[in-house]
């Protein structure tokens, strides 16, 4: 008689895949559907698009229930002593045990994260003992190699990392649009790679060597993405002290390079020796030195650094060593670097402002953050969710609904659903704040356009009397549309029907106006 039936083997294989699958990809749903068959619930099966963790989803509950029954049956067979599992069957059974123990303790891990925000390092972790006993009970059976303290501690640390990744991804990336769900999946891969089995075997010790470059328009949350990755790194657990090796909330070191002078950048990043420059009154450790092996230094606006700093940073990435300013002693950097920019680095390289060798060093992994316009165009519900999230952060949970309603009333009534939000989430936050204070929001930039290049030609032709009325109307409608971002608001300002505006707008002129406004903003 075989150790397991053909159907049990299939279930084990599916659960094994579920244990290591990227939960933000469609494969997870396909695996749950394959396992549950007619018992699969289509309703909200794609819970990952809601940015809310649902503990009581019927599919999750049913999968765990089926897994428990299977583990009980196989465990009894192993206890009887008559079973001789193959190497592959042993692997599948261990994956089954890990799947169940993970789900058994996930809420307690979340309580550690939410209740302490990283404070678990300050004391022992009491759930470890119960975790170890459950793992030992499931593994110490005839036919298996037995439970190992070190292996169990690795899984314990891994499960805590998975829960932190869920927590920070869900908390940082709000919205159910396709661009946002794709971003969550990309961030998960940046933390665990696409092969979570290999990550568990090996790469959890080597991810500090994989520099991540985050690109995207200004105001799209690049630092939030970096923070989610940085705070979700693997942190070893010591079974002797029953503590994690480091407090995860103290492992992220952000540095906005565009806000500092080159000397201050070097001081903040590399540290300095007393007397290295005017004002250096004592020795100071930089963030590369303060960052632990499981920590992350985030370099925002990396496209703004000088060639001299680029050379020093390249040395850090190539050799993992650096020097404090004014010191000759070489120090070693053990952590991970994440960089971000809204610049086109390819153009910066062509212009000779950014080193090509540094570029290839910082993009082992690359993430592109979607604009707010892309998210809303895919799913308009993203906007009220974000507004509600911002409103709660600015007020309280009780007040957030009222403020969010005021904001959405203004946006839909004055800006319109087609408004492009050129300032992205940062502009949306400004909108919510303005409405909170004054109950109105007007996008900036309109007053600057009159002095810019697109007006010079049209003004000259008006003065010479060489401008047809139709062309003047086209010019003016395009200008108002470029300011408002949508036809409804432009029509309201011009006091005509939106179809009239749409017929008159010239997209080439609109692009010229927008480029002019962007250039004025940069100046």
User: pLDDT digit string (tens) for 151-196?
Assistant: 999 999 999 999 999 999 988 898 889 999 999 999 999 999 999 9
Q: Is 88 helix (H, G, I), strand (E, B) or coil?
A: helix
Written as six digits, the tokens of 218 are 């200004």
CA-nearest of 193, 231, 211, 175 to 341 is 211
Question: Quick one: average pLDDT of 75-84?
Answer: 84
Architecture of domain 222-370: 3-Layer(aba) Sandwich (3.40)
Confidence at residue 118, expressed as pLDDT on a 0 to 100 scale: 46
- In the prediction, which pLDDT does 466 show? 66
Residues paired with 57 in a beta bridge: none
Q: E strands, 301-427, where? A: 321-323, 330-332, 336-341, 365-368
Kindly tell me the sign of the dihedral angle through the C-alpha atoms of 413, 180, 294, 215: negative
pLDDT of 274 reads 86
**268: its two tokens:** 């903040």
Alpha helices in 411-445 (DSSP H): 424-438
Among 230-244, 410-424, 481-495, name the most confident range.
Answer: 230-244
Q: How far are the Cα atoms of 204, 404, 407, 432, 440 from residue 437, in angstroms, in the given order?
A: 47, 13, 11, 9, 8
**Looking at residue 289, what is its pLDDT?**
95
Could you tell me what percent of the chain has a pLDDT over 90?
65
- Give the end-to-end CA distance of the chain in Å, rounded to a whole number: 79
Residue 280: CB atoms within 10 A of its CB come to 17
DSSP H helices in 123-148 = 127-139
At 325 the three-state DSSP class reads strand
Please state the pTM of the whole predicted model. 0.82
Mean pLDDT, to the nearest integer, of 259-276? Answer: 88
Q: What is the C-alpha to C-alpha distance for residues 80 and 73, in angstroms, rounded to an integer? A: 11
Distance of CA 145 to the CA centre of its chain: 39
**How far, in Å, are 174, 221, 490 from residue 427 at the CA level?**
16, 12, 19
Give the mean pLDDT of 404-419: 92
Structure tokens at 247: 């407090």
pLDDT at 449: 38
pLDDT score of 516: 66
Q: Sketch the domain layout of the chain as residue ranges.
A: 6-174+185-203, 222-370, 373-438, 446-522
Beta bridge partners of 237: 244
Q: Which residues pair with 299 in a beta bridge?
A: 255, 339
Copy the structure tokens of residue 299. Answer: 């370099």
Residue 304 CA to its chain's centroid (Å): 22
Residue 23: predicted pLDDT:
92
What pLDDT does residue 485 have? 77
Q: How much is the average pLDDT of 65-94? A: 91
> In this predicted model, which residue has the larger pLDDT, 417 or 68?
68
Q: How far apart are CA 323 and CA 331, in angstroms?
A: 6
Query: For 264-268, which contacts have Cβ atoms below 8 Å and span 24 or more sequence positions?
Result: 265/305, 265/309, 266/309, 266/312, 266/325, 267/325
483: which 2 tokens? 């300011």
In this prediction, residue 116 carries a pLDDT of 57
Give the highest mean pLDDT range of 193-197, 243-247, 259-263: 193-197
Q: Three-class SS of residue 244?
A: strand
Q: What integer pLDDT is reported at residue 463 of this predicted model?
A: 64
Mean pLDDT value of segment 393-406: 96
Residue 519: which pLDDT band, with cuts at 50, 70 and 90? Answer: low
User: How does pLDDT run across 475-508, given as a tens digit for each residue?
Assistant: 899 888 888 878 888 888 898 988 898 888 888 7
pLDDT of 26-59, one tens digit each?
A: 999 999 999 999 999 988 788 776 655 556 788 9
CB 388 within 8 A of CB 400: yes
Q: How far apart are CA 187 and CA 376, in angstroms?
A: 20
């Amino acid at each position: 008689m075989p150790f397991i039936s053909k159907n049990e083997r299939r279930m084990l294989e599916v659960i094994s895949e579920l244990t290591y699958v990227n939960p933000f990809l469609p494969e997870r749903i396909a695996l749950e559907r394959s396992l549950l068959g007619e018992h699969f619930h289509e309703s909200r099966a794609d819970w990952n698009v809601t940015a809310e963790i649902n503990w009581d989803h019927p599919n999750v509950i049913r999968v765990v229930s089926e897994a428990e029954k299977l583990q009980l049956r196989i465990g009894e067979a192993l206890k009887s002593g008559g079973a001789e599992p193959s190497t592959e069957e042993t692997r599948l059974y261990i994956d089954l045990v890990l799947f169940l123990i993970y789900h058994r303790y996930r809420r307690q891990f979340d309580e550690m994260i939410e209740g302490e925000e990283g404070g678990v390092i300050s004391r022992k972790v009491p759930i470890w003992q119960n975790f170890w006993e459950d793992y030992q009970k499931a593994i110490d059976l005839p036919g298996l190699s037995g439970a190992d303290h070190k292996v169990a501690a690795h899984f314990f640390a891994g499960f805590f990392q998975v829960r932190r990744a869920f927590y920070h991804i869900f908390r940082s990336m709000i919205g159910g649009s396709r661009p946002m769900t794709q971003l969550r999946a990309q961030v998960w891969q940046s933390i665990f790679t696409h092969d979570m089995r290999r990550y568990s075997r090996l790469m959890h010790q080597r991810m500090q060597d994989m520099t991540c470059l985050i690109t995207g328009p200004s105001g799209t949350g690049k630092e939030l993405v970096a923070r989610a990755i940085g705070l979700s790194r693997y942190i070893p657990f010591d079974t002797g002290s029953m503590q994690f090796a480091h407090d995860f909330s103290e492992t992220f070191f952000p540095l906005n390079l565009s806000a500092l002078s080159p000397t201050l950048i070097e001081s903040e990043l590399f540290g300095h020796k007393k007397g290295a420059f005017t004002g250096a009154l004592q020795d100071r450790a930089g963030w590369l030195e303060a960052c632990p092996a499981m920590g992350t230094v985030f370099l925002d606006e990396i496209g703004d650094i000088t060639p001299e700093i680029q050379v020093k940073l390249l040395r850090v990435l190539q050799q993992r060593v650096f020097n404090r300013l004014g010191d000759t002693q070489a120090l070693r950097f053990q952590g991970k670097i994440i960089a971000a920019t809204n610049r086109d680095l390819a153009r910066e390289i062509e212009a000779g402002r950014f080193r090509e060798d540094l570029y290839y060093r910082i993009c082992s992994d690359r993430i592109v953050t979607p604009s707010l316009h892309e998210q809303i165009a895919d799913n308009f519900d993203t906007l009220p969710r974000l507004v509600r999230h911002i409103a709660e952060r600015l007020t309280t949970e009780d007040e957030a609904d009222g403020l969010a309603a005021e904001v959405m009333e203004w946006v839909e009534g004055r800006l319109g659903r087609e408004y492009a939000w050129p300032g992205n989430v940062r502009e949306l936050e400004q909108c919510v704040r303005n409405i909170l204070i004054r109950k109105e929001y007007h996008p900036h930039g309109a007053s600057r356009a009159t002095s810019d290049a697109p007006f010079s030609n049209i003004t000259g032709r008006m003065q010479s009397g060489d401008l047809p009325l139709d062309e003047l109307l086209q010019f003016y409608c395009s200008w108002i549309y470029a300011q408002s971002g949508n036809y409804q608001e432009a029509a309201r300002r011009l006091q005509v029907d939106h179809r009239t505006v749409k017929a008159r707008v010239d997209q080439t002129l609109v692009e010229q106006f927008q480029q002019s406004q962007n250039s004025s903003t940069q100046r």
